């Protein structure tokens, strides 16, 4: 039947075909943009405050291909996510949905936060969505370098499924590499899963690795060469890599080539401004001379191989101190996790700030407990969704209390960093021929450099220091171990699960050809397609994704 929106449009007989088509195209684009902006704001409001959206999205017929890939039925694509159809009213549709709980599993480098639009739409439809943070992702506190197996990576998902009531089942949705996690769940807890939906996901067969799916697109040899800037060696360069992380420009091209990046910036706009010294930090400073200079400082000064090697004695001293402490506790029970956490923070504190801030000395500006709480609070508030930033006219209400908490922790950190800078400046004045010992020393030295393209101000030094300390504690690389593990799947468990696949047709991270190959080699029960979507349809085509999820949920 073609594009329903075009079929229902009247032909403009006054101005001729070409001009009228151009006008209709511009109107359609503006209408789509307005609808997308409206959804964006409504989605956040609903996801956070459980309000009902004023706009309903009817359950139109989606293009799909049921059965095996050899089916004679021709698969069409979703041509217009805003097109209306003669679908059943929403309440009647819900009667056909037996399993109403959706568990949303994010892909590599993401967290539960990425599903906020889908959560809003599913809740508006009367369904029960739950988004999880996998181990080492989002705000999960696990160190990513310690996540070495798929079992460890999928543990939050498995724990959630095991704690469900005995007779309850869920619909799993796995995005990208999250597909391997729902395959793992299908193998271990098939009785808890009604349907498994792979959203441009790694639906691989028995004995294959999730990474192999991406290798064709990313070029594994270049990505994992010893000099690759994407690879992270959490346990030292003499050991295998533990993770990888893309830069912003690579993420934009691979994952968000059709996603409205303005929305991603809007989500954290207030957080960045309040906690990042008004965009003076490394992470969120706008692209330009300042950002390029910050990147150069990190590569050439703060994190150069020579600089990091110079801190080797700190790591050795702190490890020796840990062993002495454990020896002194012999015969008594203690939590090793707390000891390791303290050692890690002491190493970071000495490398970045110049001395321990967890030793509880009388002259300490903050107590060890307060220092840990400040870091935890700063990390948490950097990632929360503040609805007031998206709907400015209710911002003054501070409905979630985040703004107040941001102001409190910002003042605490500013007072603490002022004390640190004063200590360093006094030491530099009192010592002739003083040489830089830590990262704050390096930043203060750079701030005095007259040759810098952009002068590094005092608030910039504080923003950089805060960024480096926070990043060394909580940076979220993509764990490599789970990506490199071969799945062990059986026909008796995994093979009995009901699997569906959603293809994204403008995907640069996982091309349509690769997705088609996955479907062909491991045929699901149904295949759906979204035209005009990048690797993140929950950002670029949320309504289209929502309609497909509803239709799959209704399949008996």
List CB contacts of 535: < 8 A, sequence separation 6 or more: 176, 200, 254, 255, 256, 257, 504, 507, 508, 509, 510
535 is catalytic: yes
Of the residues 118, 125, 176, 177, only one is catalytic, namely 176
Q: How far from chain centre, in Å, is Cα 330?
A: 42
Please provide the distance, in angstroms rounded to a whole number, between the alpha carbons at the two ends of the chain: 26
Helix (H, G, I), strand (E, B) or coil at 400: coil
Nearest to 504 by CA among 492, 496, 512: 512
361 is catalytic: no
Nearest to 5 by CA among 49, 46, 39, 35: 35
Of the residues 281, 467, 507, 534, only one is catalytic, namely 507
Other Cβ atoms within 10 Å of 364 Cβ, number: 16
Helix (H, G, I), strand (E, B) or coil at 197: strand
How far is residue 48's CA from residue 150's CA, in Å, rounded to a whole number? 30
Cα 113 to Cα 101, 179, 261, 287, 522, distances in angstroms: 18, 17, 15, 24, 30
The answer to whether 121 and 546 are in contact (CB under 8 A) is yes
Three-class HEC string of 465-534:
HHHHHHHHHHCCCEECHHHHCCCCCCCCCHHHCCEEEEEECCCCCCCHHHHHHHHHHCCCCEEEEECCCC
167 is catalytic: no
* Helix H or strand E segment including 149: none
Q: 41 is written with which tokens?
A: 């704001």
Helix (H, G, I), strand (E, B) or coil at 109: coil
How far is residue 491's CA from residue 498's CA, in Å, rounded to a whole number? 12
How far is residue 394's CA from residue 342's CA, in Å, rounded to a whole number? 40
DSSP 440-452: HHHHHHHHT-TT-
Other Cβ atoms within 10 Å of 539 Cβ, number: 24
Other Cβ atoms within 10 Å of 162 Cβ, number: 10
The answer to whether 195 and 172 are in contact (CB under 8 A) is yes
The answer to whether 505 and 198 are in contact (CB under 8 A) is no
Other Cβ atoms within 10 Å of 459 Cβ, number: 14
Q: 357 is written with which tokens?
A: 């801030």
Cα 467 to Cα 104, 247, 463, distances in angstroms: 30, 16, 6
Hey, which residues are catalytic here?
Answer: 176, 507, 535
């Amino acid at each position: 039947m073609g594009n329903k929106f075009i079929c229902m449009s009247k032909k403009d007989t006054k101005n001729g075909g070409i001009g009228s088509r151009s006008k209709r195209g511009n109107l359609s684009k503006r209408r789509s943009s307005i609808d997308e902006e409206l959804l964006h704001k409504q989605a956040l409001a609903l996801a956070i405050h459980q309000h009902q959206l004023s706009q309903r999205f009817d359950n139109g017929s989606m293009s799909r291909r049921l059965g095996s890939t050899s089916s004679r039925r021709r698969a069409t694509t979703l041509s217009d996510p805003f097109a209306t159809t003669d679908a059943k009213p929403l309440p009647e549709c819900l009667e056909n949905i037996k399993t109403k709980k959706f568990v949303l599993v994010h892909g590599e480098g993401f967290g539960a936060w990425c599903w906020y639009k889908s959560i809003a739409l599913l809740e508006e439809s009367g369904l029960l969505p739950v988004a999880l943070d996998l181990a080492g992702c989002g705000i999960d506190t696990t160190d990513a370098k310690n996540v070495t197996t798929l079992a460890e990576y999928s543990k939050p998902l498995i724990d959630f499924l095991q704690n469900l009531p005995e007779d309850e089942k869920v619909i799993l949705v796995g995005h990208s590499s999250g597909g391997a996690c729902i395959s793992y769940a299908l193998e271990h807890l098939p009785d808890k899963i009604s349907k498994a939906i792979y959203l441009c996901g790694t639906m691989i067969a028995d004995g294959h690795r999730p990474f192999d799916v991406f290798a064709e697109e990313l070029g594994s040899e270049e990505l994992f060469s010893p000099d690759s800037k994407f690879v992270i060696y959490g346990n030292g360069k003499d050991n295998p890599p533990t993770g990888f992380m893309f830069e912003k420009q690579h993420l934009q091209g691979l994952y968000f080539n059709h996603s409205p990046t303005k929305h991603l910036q809007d989500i954290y706009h207030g957080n960045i401004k309040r906690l990042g010294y008004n965009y003076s930090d490394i992470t969120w400073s706008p692209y330009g001379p300042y950002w390029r200079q910050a990147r150069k400082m990190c590569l050439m000064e703060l994190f150069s191989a020579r600089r990091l090697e110079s801190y080797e004695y700190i790591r050795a001293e702190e490890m020796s101190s840990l062993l002495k402490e454990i020896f002194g506790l012999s015969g008594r029970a203690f939590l090793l996790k707390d000891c390791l956490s303290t050692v890690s923070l002491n190493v970071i504190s000495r490398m970045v700030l110049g001395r321990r801030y967890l030793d509880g000395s009388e002259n300490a500006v903050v107590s060890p407990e307060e220092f840990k709480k400040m870091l935890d609070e700063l990390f948490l508030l950097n990632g929360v969704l503040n609805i007031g930033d998206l709907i400015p006219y209710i911002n003054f209400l501070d409905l979630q209390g985040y703004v107040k908490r941001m102001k409190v922790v910002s003042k605490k950190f500013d007072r603490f960093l002022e004390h640190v800078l004063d200590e360093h400046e006094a030491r530099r004045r009192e010592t002739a021929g003083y040489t830089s010992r830590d990262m704050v020393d390096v930043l203060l030295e750079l701030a005095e450099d007259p040759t810098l393209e952009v002068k590094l101000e005092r608030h910039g030094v504080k923003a950089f220091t805060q960024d480096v300390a926070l990043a060394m504690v909580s940076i979220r690389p993509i764990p490599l171990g789970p990506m490199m593990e071969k799945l062990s799947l059986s026909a008796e468990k995994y093979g009995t699960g009901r699997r569906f696949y959603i293809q994204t047709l403008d995907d640069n991270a996982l091309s349509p050809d690769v997705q088609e190959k996955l479907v062909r080699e491991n045929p699901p029960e149904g295949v759906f397609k979204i035209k005009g979507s990048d690797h993140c349809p929950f950002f670029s085509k949320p309504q289209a994704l929502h309609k497909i999820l509803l239709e799959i949920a209704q399949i008996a």
